[in-house]
Chains A and B, each alone.
Chain A
């Protein structure tokens, strides 16, 4: 069983401007101390990845990563804030539409949980909706994170020695 369980992710601004930062309030439970023989306490690493294009894995962007620690045994929470994706790394035709962000957590560089959310990038302006411009008008694009539809994938890792 995983020593760390994410118990709640509260997306603080699920509906926002496309270029607004992403904010997650993450609550997790730690069941036993995160430590090994030499280093006293180890951190968890949270990452947010934006899937830039459905067709090309290399266009995935790591929006930010955050070390969380020291982690006491018990229930803890923190806010993870990440910048919006770099627009110049996304193909124009992929900016508007549905994509996915992946919130992942690793311990000793081994990912043990990954939560995916749909993100819908859209124009609210009706005219732009009807005639979507080829070159996206960035400041008119909004994003909507489907907070209700997370996809949680857990990976079993060896918590004492993840590399074994």
Chain B
């Protein structure tokens, strides 16, 4: 190895003081070296003059070939294009990227009088809003990527220099870029402590690697990563292993940092792979890549990936931090090889903040022999390299027709494959015949679930490796993901009168259908009365006396599963007639013992007498016969849902009566059936709640038990038992040892977004959170009593029984959550008054003792709870209402951190940089209201109510403006 540091290679020929050199790059031919400096200039140097001692002696050999002076800010990166090196791209402090081309006509030298070549700026690429830190040409010069301190990456067409894409996932300065030599990915490194991998096919984020940078506490000018020439890994600068600064080597397959280059004593600014793969000196058959790293400890280390130790570590070269590195390899056909002496195979240039450049020459004995370009290209094929050949001239002239979407690519691929399948071939037979018929193919796949990879990540968890069995077969134990269903597990809680829990080893895996022999002693099942609810009650719209009577004994629809379950809702009785009316549509079920007739009319017709054979007159009407009695009915203008006495559930189109699905079979009968919008909610007799999206044929909530809610209600009830809300109707038929709950179900509904709502007589309301997979409480009259927004009824309010009218009310009100609160308060008051307990007044007294600050704090929490609840039940009106209130109280509280949290959460990435966790999965909506719209509402309220927040408010207002 020979190191040279030409004294004349500097950016400030005239002045005494050296100016920093930020970037360095070799022309692909190796004849030129470009440097970019703090003096806003780019200089192009003659490599020959540097490397050849005798040439250096000869003053005739030109050293400086050109000085490029168009930038108006420090030049932070210079990169020659690949292949012929036609272009030089530079990025600078002046936010501009310039594309330079050598002007062959201007043989007279440039106008600056320096150097012998003229390079003219060909294009000026603008768009960055801050310093341009790094740039990279894609292999084959198809794209140019640039990044900077404005946190974004731009992708430019490297032929037309049109801006194609803006990549915005980074939340802080982006300080380095590297293309995959196979052309599939772009790697970017940012101060947000991530390295991100972007797919070049659609420019979406492929992977985010944060691990190697977590411990990193060092700040660097740059974080220039580099991709290995064989495509296998990407080396990242400024990583840390504990407190040790390292360069992390991230493997392409797993995106895990398996290796690190350790040894530097300070942060690493740049890593650069030699663009060639080498056959190392020790083993000509092996293949290795060469990587250099340099940084703030001012030393350069060079690693051969086949060795554990660096092949060299040059220290003391510089008096300033290393800013950039560049390699050139002498290949057989390169113009520099003839002049290369002493079997030098590679040149490494390093530039420093101290204003100097050092050149390290490596010999064949040190690195080995670079392998043939063909072989190197072949190594990339496994990574999807498709050849560097330029597209045909014609294509170039016309410009390729760009594929505009990923699905387009996928469809094209499918079409291409299927068109190759010969008709009638065996392959066609295996795959279901009739392949050439396009339509047929699309409908052919039987099992969509097996087709769609639900998990886009390859394999999240480490999978066990197969082992060989005695008879030589491979065997693997599968990874247990979860047990089946959730039903059996939820129904396990004990009655409030606690007993020693009995171990139930089988519980986790046992099936849904309970076997009575195993579950015989049901000591204290909870029965719950839902009498207050109207859906089941016969109602006669004519206002006359109901002529519905119970048909047959109740045991008619008792099943084993019901008696074995722990939660029982009052079993529906089979009535001769069941009516449901909604929006002018009327649905009447006429029941026989084992059959029924369902009639739907859109005009309110006179009540047809039971068993009347004639179909009611009217334009839109339909009727049908079912082979079971109807126990539950619900309809709106889209969907009619019918629950049968045999536990079946039927869906019909409300307008035409067309059947929407086969009979759905549940474990037990419907206790409550609700339809709203396109959603159907079923609460069955064993307390399992399901919500379906009827149109999408999909369950949103899947057999979730309401048992936990009942137990909670039992535990939290006041010490004095509340009078049961029911009389003894039907009681005599129940098992004797029943535990009677003190709360009753007062409302079951499904929101416009499909969220179920369950309200109880203790005033609490719940919804099931689809993603959290748990019940969440959205209204609770005992919480937040000190809040200014706690709904308290004026003492004189008549405590009307809510019950059956709840659903109607809830839907007519704009803000369902507000209604639920009022409902809760009403019931709470009612309970308190009925029992003459002091619970209510006691809390009021306690509340009175709180000071103003505490009250604001409680109110704030209350409003946050309300806002989150509104989101959970998917009520946009409630979200807006409570966001406004929250803004007012946030202003009042003057809690800067809290304000900042909400503003950042509403603004979302990437602008809320540093305030949200890096890996935040930002959901841009609350219910169906865009968060940024809420932010827009809240900012003026905050500004108007508390001027001390103005710096925060302005900051976010500006960020919001930027997005428009």
Contacts and interface: CB of A to CB of B under 8 A. Distances in A.
B412 to A, nearest CB: 12
A100 B464 contact: no
Contacts, number: 168
B378 A100 contact: no
Given A69-B477, A118-B417, A102 B430 contact: yes
Given A65-B473, A74-B508, A151-B431, A120 B451 contact: no
Question: What 8 pairs across the A-B complex have the smallest Cβ distances?
Answer: A73-B509, A76-B478, A67-B475, A75-B481, A152-B447, A74-B483, A78-B478, A10-B453
Most buried by A among B444, B466, B478, B484: B478
Given A69-B475, A126-B389, 10 more contacts: A8-B455, A15-B384, A55-B426, A73-B509, A74-B483, A78-B463, A78-B478, A115-B447, A148-B414, A150-B446
B387 A67 contact: no
A97 interface: yes
A69 B466 CA distance: 11
Interface string B418-437: 10111001110011100000
Interface string A14-47: 0111001000010111011100000000010000
Interface of B: 378, 381-382, 384, 386-387, 389, 410, 413-414, 416-418, 420-422, 425-427, 430-432, 441, 444-447, 449-455, 458-459, 463-464, 466, 469, 473-484, 508-509, 511
B453 A152 contact: no
B427 A54 contact: yes
Most buried by A among B387, B389, B431, B450: B450
Most buried by A among B430, B444, B473: B430
A132 interface: no
A124 B389 CA distance: 12
B227 to A, nearest CB: 19
Given A68-B475, A151-B431, A139 B381 contact: yes
Mostly helix, strand, loop or mixed at chain B's interface?
loop
A140 interface: yes
B386 A7 contact: no
Given A54-B426, A102-B430, A146-B417, A10 B455 contact: yes
A84 interface: no
A157 interface: no
Contacts of B482: 74-75
A116 B431 contact: yes
Contacts of A124: 386-387
Contacts of A118: 417-418, 421, 427, 431
A90 interface: no
A140 to B, nearest CB: 7
Contact of B478 (A15, A68, A115): A68
Contacts of B466: 66, 81
A64 B474 contact: yes
A70 B476 CA distance: 8
Contacts of A55: 426
A149 interface: yes
Contacts of A78: 463-464, 476-479
Contacts of B454: 8, 10
B420 A98 contact: yes
A65 B459 CA distance: 20
A76 B480 contact: yes
A152 B475 contact: no
B479 A77 contact: yes
Most buried by A among B449, B451, B483: B451
Given A73-B484, A77-B481, A98-B417, A67 B473 contact: yes
A12 interface: yes
Contact of A43 (B389, B420, B452, B475): B475
Contacts of B459: 12, 25, 79
A97 B428 CA distance: 13
Interface of A: 6-12, 15-17, 20, 25, 27-29, 31-33, 43, 51, 54-55, 57, 64-79, 81, 97-100, 102, 115-116, 118, 120, 124-126, 139-140, 144, 146-153
A7 B449 contact: yes
30 contacts: A6-B447, A6-B450, A12-B458, A51-B426, A54-B425, A65-B474, A66-B466, A67-B469, A67-B473, A75-B482, A77-B463, A77-B478, A77-B481, A97-B420, A98-B418, A98-B421, A100-B430, A116-B431, A118-B418, A124-B387, A126-B387, A139-B378, A146-B413, A148-B445, A149-B431, A149-B444, A149-B445, A150-B445, A150-B450, A151-B430
Contacts of A31: 484, 511
A148 B476 contact: no
Given A17-B382, A150-B445, A51 B430 contact: yes
A90 to B, nearest CB: 14
Given A10-B455, A54-B422, A149 B476 contact: no
B485 to A, nearest CB: 9
A6 B459 CA distance: 17
A99 B29 CA distance: 45
A116 to B, nearest CB: 5
A151 B483 contact: no
B478 to A, nearest CB: 4
Nearest to B453: A10
A85 to B, nearest CB: 15
Contact of B474 (A12, A17, A67, A120): A67
B426 A120 contact: no
Contacts of B463: 25, 77-79
B422 to A, nearest CB: 7
A95 to B, nearest CB: 13
A144 B414 CA distance: 10
A148 B483 contact: no
Contacts of A20: 382
B437 to A, nearest CB: 14
Contacts of B469: 67
A12 B421 CA distance: 24
A153 B410 CA distance: 24
A73 B453 CA distance: 23
Contacts of A79: 459, 463
B667 to A, nearest CB: 15
Contacts of A150: 445-447, 450-451
A120 B416 CA distance: 9
A155 B630 CA distance: 37
Nearest to B389: A126
A20 B413 CA distance: 20
A25 B463 CA distance: 9
Contacts of A149: 414, 418, 431, 441, 444-445, 451
